[in-house]
Amino acid sequence: MRRILYNLFLILLASPLAAFSLDDAEQSILKGKAAEVIPLLEGYSPKTETETLRRMWILGVAYNRSGKSHQAVAPLARLVILRPDDPTFRLELANALVKSDQIERARYHLELAKGAGLSPSVQAKVQAELDRLAKPKKWQGYFRFAIVPESNAARRTSAETVNLSGFVLRLDPNSRAQSATAFEIGTGVATVPRLTDALRARFALDLDARLFDGRAPDEVTLRTSASLLHFADEGRLVSAEIYGSQRWIDDAAYAHTLGLGLSYTRNLGTRARATAVLQRERITYDGSGVDVNRTAGAAQFAYAASSQLVFRVGMRAETRASSYSPVAGHAAGVTIGGDYSFAGGLRVGLDLSFDRNEFDGVHPIFGVARVDKKSSVMLNLSNQNWSYKGFTQVLRLGFEEQRSTISINRFRNATASIGLTRSF
């Protein structure tokens, strides 16, 4: 009799789990009992691939609806990896990321979802959420660091000699191209007080440093700014900024800048976004006292071809005025590129750039007008589904080449950057 009662107890104990189904789990969530169904989902063993995906989905939703958004991220991120074209999974993941205060990752997935052919009503809700997230928190900050080996860190010529009016001079080996490794650090903090529902002020301080191993000059830049930001419908953002910066090279003051910037950003339909920027600044080179008045403009257009693929093109131009003609002149450039998000979370970005920079007057030493033409390619690799204590890894590989009418301004440089970054 005791044995029979024991077996009956085991049957009764197992019966709730044996009778449990994914349909029951969905109904429990709809009835507001998400927390109660989580242990049953965690113990559920799916029998098919379809059941595996469905369990991950229901478990992620259950975590999210029961206030456990941090735990919801893992199963939902896995679903997005396995089914990157399904916007439903991506939108639920973005929702969990917002609740977990992982705003940059959430914005990334919301932007990709816009290219997935959403219905007009869902598209409008996604854009409204992006507009809301675009309004900054009262305090912002970031920290990043990277190891950056470069084949020609100081962008120097590889030529061994130069010709000056028929005289051939041999360059010092320390003045020619040589490899170096930098330790890059960037950090900044900003306060963004609310003035009205659509208007914010922003006061920021940023520090960037490139510290080399002795084979290239160290560079440090300190920048401060004050801005007004106006937010409107359709992703529109208008900003005006006053800024100043100081740049040091090898512990010596090199140049300081004071300027004004204006920018305008807006959505063009449901898949495209355009940005225009204007700048007017005065650069003073501390050692010589030379002043340069620089006026610059730039525009960028981005288009989400799908939930995984984004194309972009950018153009820029500038003019420089100075009493010292060798630094005056004008320049223009173009960049084309895009990002692709693979199944598995890998995000690959590729950008190709070309710039032409012309200087006024004749060079006082080489006796010709200087014209530089620079081409570059940059490959960016990251994984939006990976982070460690808030840090995201970033890998960059690049190559640049500059041709010039003046031999000492010609160079080639290959670079790699391996680093971590975090925003808060």
Q: How many CA atoms lie within 13 A of 282 on its CB side?
A: 7
The answer to whether residues 205 and 161 belong to one domain is yes
Token readout for 275 is: 């940005």
Distances (CA, A) of 221 to 162, 186, 206, 210, 251: 32, 10, 8, 9, 11
The answer to whether residues 72 and 155 belong to one domain is no
| pLDDT of 229 | 94
Query: What is the CB neighbour count within 10 angstroms for residue 169?
Result: 9
Report pLDDT digits (tens) over 263-289: 999 988 878 899 999 999 999 999 888
The answer to whether residues 184 and 325 belong to one domain is yes
| pLDDT of 270 | 75
**Residue 376 pLDDT > 90, yes or no?**
yes
b/e code 43-52 from CB counts within 10 Å (16+ = b): ebeeeeeeee
b/e code 363-388 from CB counts within 10 Å (16+ = b): eeebeebbebebebebebebbbbebe
Q: What is the pTM of this model?
A: 0.75
Report pLDDT digits (tens) over 220-260: 999 999 999 998 877 789 999 999 999 999 989 999 999 99
Helix (H, G, I), strand (E, B) or coil at 81: helix
Within-domain flag for 202:
yes
The answer to whether residues 77 and 191 belong to one domain is no
Within-domain flag for 14:
no
**Residue 12 pLDDT > 60, yes or no?**
no
The answer to whether residues 53 and 118 belong to one domain is yes
Look at residues 104, 134, 164 and tell me which one is the last residue of a structural domain.
134
The answer to whether residues 83 and 145 belong to one domain is no
The answer to whether residues 109 and 211 belong to one domain is no
Look at residues 134, 156, 185 and tell me which one is the last residue of a structural domain.
134
Mean pLDDT of the residues in the chain? 86
The answer to whether residues 152 and 105 belong to one domain is no
Within-domain flag for 230:
yes
The CATH number of the domain where 167 resides is what?
2.40.160.40
Structural domain of residue 246, as residue ranges?
139-423
> Which of the two residues, 118 and 195, has the higher pLDDT score?
195
Confidence of residue 137 (pLDDT cuts 50, 70, 90): confident
DSSP 36-66: HHHHHHHT---SSHHHHHHHHHHHHHHHHHT
The answer to whether residues 94 and 153 belong to one domain is no
Token readout for 352 is: 């190709």
Look at residues 134, 162, 193 and tell me which one is the last residue of a structural domain.
134
**Residue 148 pLDDT > 90, yes or no?**
yes
Query: What is the CB neighbour count within 10 angstroms for residue 207?
Result: 13
Q: What total number of domains does the chain contain? A: 2
Q: For the residues 170-177, what does the mean pLDDT come to?
A: 72
The answer to whether residues 130 and 201 belong to one domain is no
The answer to whether residues 184 and 241 belong to one domain is yes
Provide, rounded to the nearest whole percent, the portion of the chain with pLDDT above 90. Answer: 43
The CATH number of the domain where 115 resides is what?
1.25.40.10
Distances (CA, A) of 398 to 148, 163, 186, 401: 11, 31, 20, 10
